[in-house]
Structure 1
Amino acid sequence: MMRDVTAELIAEWRDELTRLTGSLGHLFNRPEPRVVFAQFVEGLLAELPKKNGWTLSERAGHATADRMQWLLNGSVWEAGRLRDAVRDYLVEHLGDPEASLVIDDTQAQKKGIKSVGVAFQHCGLTGDVRNCQTTVMLTYATTAGHAFLDRRLYLPEEWAEDQERCRAASIPNEVGFATKPEPAVAMLEEAVAAGVPLSWLLADSGYGRDPQVRAWCHDRPVPYVLGVPVDLPLDGPPGEPRHPAVKRATTCFITSAP
């Protein structure tokens, strides 16, 4: 509950958001998308029943959704540079040597078949198989807050094998199929290279079962708490056979401390 929120505090938040979006104006080569970008961010943070091109445009006072749609579909700017700017801002305001990096994925439900990466796959939002997109996420958790750090859109194998479909969706030729832990490890590498302070890595069993993720932690070394599925074999003492992780559970956790 936000009982202590005052008009003065809201005004401070608004001013800070204006400064933040204004500082990102260099990402755009024209003034029009700079203005629409700020309106787009404000709309995403607003209490709207639905958030799409039309509702965001209506809130911004636009007669049509053309300007919002052009920001995402036609204007020239680099999402990677925006991600880097957000990461730098996050480290400046939330950076903590005791922080944790969190790997997880999220889904966006879709009705059509043309959105990049859309397929019938497990949807964490509903707990079943749905037509959706999946994005592998890297977030940053501290005692002061938990915020977005990086992302990679997952491209299912059925997409990667269909070159015509990929060309129609403007997917670069060099982009191929990769399991979800692969982009997760790539994002971890980039975060460390950028000097993001951290002490722990956290992930659920979808990533904890993958040897690439665990190997990345061991090679640094980075302490971790990872969920693992019940059927994951674990190495016992030398000379002893491998055995399942646990019994009578669906998920357990493996940890490593410094």
Structure 2
Amino acid sequence: MRTAGELLERLRSCFVRTQTWQHAGRYVAALVSEIPKRNGWTIAQQAGDRTPDRTQRLLNRAVWDGQATASQVRRFVVTGLDGVAGRRTRRGLRIAALDETGQAKQGTATCGVKRQYLGCAGRLANGINTVHLAFVRERVGHALIAARQWIPAEHLADADTVAAMGIAGGLAFRTKGQLAIDLCTDAYADGVAFDFVCGVEVYGNCTQLREFFDDQQQAYVLRVASSFMLTLNAEIRMTCAKAVALLATNERRWQIRSAGAGSKGQRWYAWAWIATASPRHYLLVRRHLRSGELAYHYCYVPHDQPLTLARLVRAAGLRWPVEETFEFSKDCFGLDQCQARLHTAIARHTVLVMTALAICAVAAARLKIRTDTQALPPNTPDQQPPSEPGMIPLTIPETARLLATTWHQPKPADHDTHWRNWRRRHQARARWFHQRTRLNREYSLAN
């Protein structure tokens, strides 16, 4: 597929040796394939290698620039999605969506591992967290364009831990809000511009991040907690919850607007906005129509940009695609299946997953109009269904499956047999060493 060739050719300058660049291409092809799990062994087998050594070397020791690779992926995604949007009469908003996603891990040896809240598990669990920046082009598509792993301060404070986890010397502790600043700084350095930045509460509650966007004249719609303090005028400060209870009791202050189209239709909510003492800063409140649950967004729009409730609502409704992007990255490309332990290896696996996702996201966007044959949506509740419903446009997972069939790597006839034997031999060797280790332990009955 032409899209894959475009991006992989861009990445060539990021690699010192041609062989390493070619193996990175085979790694990406393995991520796009339909293998059930994507770890060092399965990726090496899919790539046509006889052992996992080359795959492990690519992630750990090979000489290539992961940050430059991420920059090329970022430019490819933005240029590709903007190119599709440019062919439309309504080009839509350009959104930067900040969020984090976790990976459950066992033990204590993996870089950044800690017992912490993992969104993927919905609870406290042992794992690692990575902050991501996604680019969302309204009505076109979305993909990840930057990532930084969050590493606990106690890991960076211990020299032995830093060495064991392969963390570069001099790396300072960064909060998730500060990592978000780093990601946006990288995007700005590549010439990427956003109409709005959106994010969940951990970023909305970060004063340093909000001040960074204010200094950059960057509009944002960031979720904040109900306890977030607002300055309404020179004498009054109160929480978001109290401000809504005081100023938004009149139903005429609420407007029912769609937060955008979902798979089941328009997502309708009631919205209200409250001005603050700071010019161009507002509190945007979303109310669920059935449950009445409230969500709070702290907003900023510079003086040279249009400020309307409709525009803020559109921006707030465009944060959710980052969740879908995480789902695709994990289910289709193995973002959370990497078994690497060292800092560099985890970062390199992440950027190669971003590469696979970028290829499929841009290809799906380019094919969207040509592959969308859906019947028109119903106008009345009692309307009869169409005789032919048509088909939705190609999604990222379907585009990955299509690409996998055209990107198949030819392998020797005995390739699968070799890998079955290699795995059994490696497992036998590992079992023997585990048994020997147990012989050296001293066991005693508990009193």
TM-score range, shorter chain: 0.7 to 0.9
Partner of 2:106, secondary structure, is coil
Partner of 1:138, secondary structure, is strand
1:146 to 142, 145, 158: 142
Instruction: Return the TM-score normalized by structure 1.
Output: 0.87
Q: Does 1:89 align with 2:76?
A: yes
Q: For the residues of structure 1 that align with 2:190 and 2:48, how far apart are their CA atoms? A: 39
Conserved? CA contact 1:229–1:250, under 8 Å: no
Question: C-alpha deviations, 1:60-84, integer Å up to 9, x for none?
Answer: 2222211111110121111011011
Corresponding residue for residue 296 of structure 2: 252
Offset of residue 250 of structure 1: 7.3
Deviates more, 1:98-107 or 1:161-170: 161-170
Letter in 1 for 2:194: L
Offset of residue 21 of structure 1: 1.6
Q: For the residues of structure 1 that align with 2:189 and 2:66, how far apart are their CA atoms? A: 19
Partner of 1:24, secondary structure, is helix
Corresponding residue for residue 231 of structure 1: 227
Offset of residue 204 of structure 1: 0.5
1:216 to 212, 219, 222: 212
Q: For the residues of structure 2 that align with 1:230 and 1:156, how far apart are their CA atoms? A: 27
2:60 to 62, 73, 78: 73
Conserved? CA contact 1:230–1:249, under 8 Å: no
Distance 1:72 1:212, change over 3 A: same
Deviates more, 1:139-148 or 1:187-196: 187-196
Q: For the residues of structure 1 that align with 2:220 and 2:168, how far apart are their CA atoms? A: 34
Offset of residue 137 of structure 1: 0.8
Q: For the residues of structure 2 that align with 1:25 and 1:140, how far apart are their CA atoms? A: 23
Conserved? CA contact 1:109–1:133, under 8 Å: yes
Q: For the residues of structure 1 that align with 2:293 and 2:233, how far apart are their CA atoms? A: 23
Question: C-alpha deviations, 1:104-133, integer Å up to 9, x for none?
Answer: 111111113222111111101011111111
Q: For the residues of structure 1 that align with 2:294 and 2:55, how far apart are their CA atoms? A: 44
2:193 to 194, 197, 200: 197
Q: For the residues of structure 2 that align with 1:238 and 1:23, how far apart are their CA atoms? A: 53
Corresponding residue for residue 21 of structure 1: 8
Runs of 4+ deviating beyond 6 Å: none
1:163 to 159, 164, 176: 159
Question: C-alpha deviations, 1:199-218, integer Å up to 9, x for none?
Answer: 11100011001111211222
Letter in 2 for 1:125: C
Partner of 2:241, secondary structure, is coil
Offset of residue 251 of structure 1: 4.4
Distance 1:250 1:182, change over 3 A: farther
Q: For the residues of structure 2 that align with 1:249 and 1:174, how far apart are their CA atoms? A: 45
Offset of residue 48 of structure 1: 2.2
Q: For the residues of structure 2 that align with 1:81 and 1:163, how far apart are their CA atoms? A: 28
Q: For the residues of structure 2 that align with 1:88 and 1:137, how far apart are their CA atoms? A: 16
Q: For the residues of structure 1 that align with 2:293 and 2:207, how far apart are their CA atoms? A: 21
Corresponding residue for residue 33 of structure 1: 20
Unaligned runs of 5+ in 2: 86-91, 243-291, 306-447
Letter in 2 for 1:37: A
Offset of residue 152 of structure 1: 0.9
Conserved? CA contact 2:101–2:119, under 8 Å: yes
How many corresponding residue pairs? 244
Unaligned runs of 5+ in 1: 1-13
Corresponding residue for residue 182 of structure 1: 178
The structure, 1 or 2, with the larger RCO (C-alpha pairs under 8 Å, 6+ apart) is: 2
Distance 1:176 1:23, change over 3 A: closer
Partner of 1:105, secondary structure, is strand
Distance 1:30 1:119, change over 3 A: same
Q: For the residues of structure 1 that align with 2:68 and 2:61, how far apart are their CA atoms? A: 17
Conserved? CA contact 2:7–2:73, under 8 Å: no
Deviates more, 1:248-257 or 1:114-123: 248-257
Q: Does 1:105 align with 2:100?
A: yes
Offset of residue 246 of structure 1: 1.5
Question: C-alpha deviations, 1:204-242, integer Å up to 9, x for none?
Answer: 0110011112112222222211110122222232112x2
Conserved? CA contact 2:110–2:165, under 8 Å: yes
Letter in 2 for 1:256: Y
Partner of 2:169, secondary structure, is coil
Distance 1:56 1:165, change over 3 A: same
Deviates more, 1:86-95 or 1:122-131: 86-95
Q: For the residues of structure 2 that align with 1:191 and 1:30, how far apart are their CA atoms? A: 27
Distance 1:249 1:177, change over 3 A: farther
Conserved? CA contact 1:136–1:183, under 8 Å: yes
Offset of residue 167 of structure 1: 1.9
Q: For the residues of structure 2 that align with 1:226 and 1:157, how far apart are their CA atoms? A: 26
Corresponding residue for residue 173 of structure 1: 169
